[in-house]
């Protein structure tokens, strides 16, 4: 199969045709690129799991356009859900609720709940509106690899495996949506992202963070898998361990290997003269650059030596979750 890459504006009719015939398509969103299928078509959904090599017990997120009635897909049991929808949707927030079964059981790994998200990317909205069905989509990478934030990244992983990628430019967010369980009286973060605990609290008054302990029945199956790994070696140091990071860098260099340090701009001077993958200054910049720099790094480095940021609040919670899974 040859994989065509079309601009999202020029490719929507073609993508619609493929999707309605049960095919799968790479699509942009504001977080990361997704691999989309008609969520009401079990055969189409199975293709996603096959192409990605994704474990079948890991459910998919259903993507809908702005005017799609969420009540047709899920039971909205708590009033605070509508406040969250008003505040953050469209945007990088995914809500988990009890499914009405419109999206097929293959997409939700046979579970009772469905994760729903309304992307803000204009091209993605236009595609969702054209198809007017819930499109289920995981990130458009091979399972366990780093998530793609450009059409080129999707092409790299899925060339020859899917018929079409819609190119909607570089994703503005850079890490995946916040997954929020809203089935209970207090919302619970299953996967941290750009919509932070603090932001949810400002709307609802309270927000918990799910703790995934060994032996627990996993609420968001994706979190139990190794994820986001670049293809080169990796190491992760705390912000207090820049000496250790420097020492490892020097050892790698002495062994004839090509190391790169990945850190925030603030730390650059601690690694003067070394190969650097700089992530930026603010949490938003770091989220925007993280996967792009990991994917750049795997091409030129034998080892990426990442250094953390000294904080876990706000968007840093999601960033640290991704960084420890990709480099830790």
Applying CB under 5 A, which residues contact Mg ion? 139
Contact letters for ligand TXA, residues 87-126 (x by CB under 6 A): -------x-x-----------x--x-xxx-x---------
For the chain, strand residue ranges (E) read 4-7, 25-27, 34-38, 61-63, 74-75, 93-99, 113-117, 135-136, 164-167, 178-181, 188-191, 208-209, 233-237, 259-263, 276-278, 303-307
Which of the choices Mg ion, ligand TXA, none does residue 29 contact, using the CB cut-off of 5 to 8 A by kind?
ligand TXA
Structural contact between residues 167 and 7, judged by C-beta atoms closer than 8 angstroms = yes
- Minimum CB separation of residue 288 from ligand TXA in Å reads 14
Structural contact between residues 209 and 192, judged by C-beta atoms closer than 8 angstroms = yes
Q: Is 223 in the site for ligand TXA (CB under 6 A)?
A: yes
- Minimum CB separation of residue 295 from ligand TXA in Å reads 16
Which of the choices ligand TXA, Mg ion, none does residue 148 contact, using the CB cut-off of 5 to 8 A by kind?
none
Residues 6 or more apart whose Cβ sits within 8 Å of residue 301: 232, 258, 259, 260, 275, 277
Name which position in 15, 19, 51, 61 contacts ligand TXA (CB under 6 A): 61
Q: 183 is written with which tokens?
A: 């089935």
Question: Which range, of 58-66, 160-168, 229-237, 272-280, touches ligand TXA by CB under 6 A?
Answer: 58-66
Q: Is 222 in the site for ligand TXA (CB under 6 A)?
A: yes
Evaluated on CA atoms 222, 82, 67, 9, the torsion sign reads negative
DSSP 200: H
Which residue is closest to ligand TXA by CB? 222
Q: CA-CA distance, 248 to 259, in Å (whole number)?
A: 9
| # of chain residues touching ligand TXA (CB under 6 A) | 29
Q: Is 32 in the site for ligand TXA (CB under 6 A)?
A: yes
Residues binding ligand TXA (CB under 6 A): 29, 31-32, 34, 58-61, 94, 96, 108, 111, 113-115, 117, 137-139, 176-177, 179, 190-191, 219-223
């Amino acid at each position: 199969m040859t994989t065509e890459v079309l601009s999202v504006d020029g490719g929507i009719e073609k993508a619609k045709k493929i999707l309605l015939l049960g095919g799968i398509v790479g699509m942009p969103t504001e977080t990361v690129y997704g691999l989309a299928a008609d969520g009401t078509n079990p055969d189409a959904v199975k293709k996603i799991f096959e192409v990605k090599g994704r474990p079948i017990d890991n459910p998919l997120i259903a993507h809908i356009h702005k005017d799609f009635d969420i009540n047709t897909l899920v039971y909205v049991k708590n009033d605070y859900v509508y406040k969250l929808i008003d505040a953050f949707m469209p945007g990088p927030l995914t809500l988990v609720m009890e499914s009405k079964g419109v999206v097929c059981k293959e997409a939700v790994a046979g579970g009772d709940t469905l994760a729903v998200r309304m992307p803000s990317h204009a091209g993605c909205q236009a595609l969702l509106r054209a198809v007017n069905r819930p499109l289920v989509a995981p990130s458009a990478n091979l399972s366990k690899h780093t998530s793609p934030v450009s059409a080129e990244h999707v092409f790299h992983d899925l060339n020859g495996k899917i018929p079409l990628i819609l190119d909607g430019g570089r994703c503005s967010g850079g890490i995946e949506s916040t997954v929020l369980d809203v089935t209970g009286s207090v919302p619970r973060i299953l996967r941290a992202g750009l919509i932070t605990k603090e932001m949810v609290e400002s709307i609802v008054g309270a927000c918990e963070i799910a703790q995934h302990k060994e032996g627990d029945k996993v609420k968001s199956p994706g979190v139990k898998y190794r994820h986001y790994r670049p293809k080169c070696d990796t190491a992760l140091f705390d912000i207090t361990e820049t000496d250790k990071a420097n020492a490892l860098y020097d050892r790698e260099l002495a062994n004839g290997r090509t190391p790169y340090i990945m850190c925030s701009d603030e730390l650059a001077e601690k690694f003067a003269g070394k190969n650097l993958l700089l992530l930026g200054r603010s949490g938003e910049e770091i989220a925007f650059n993280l996967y792009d720099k990991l994917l750049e790094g795997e091409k030129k480095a034998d080892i990426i030596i990442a250094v953390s940021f000294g904080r876990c609040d706000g968007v840093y919670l999601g960033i640290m979750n991704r960084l420890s899974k990709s480099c830790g």
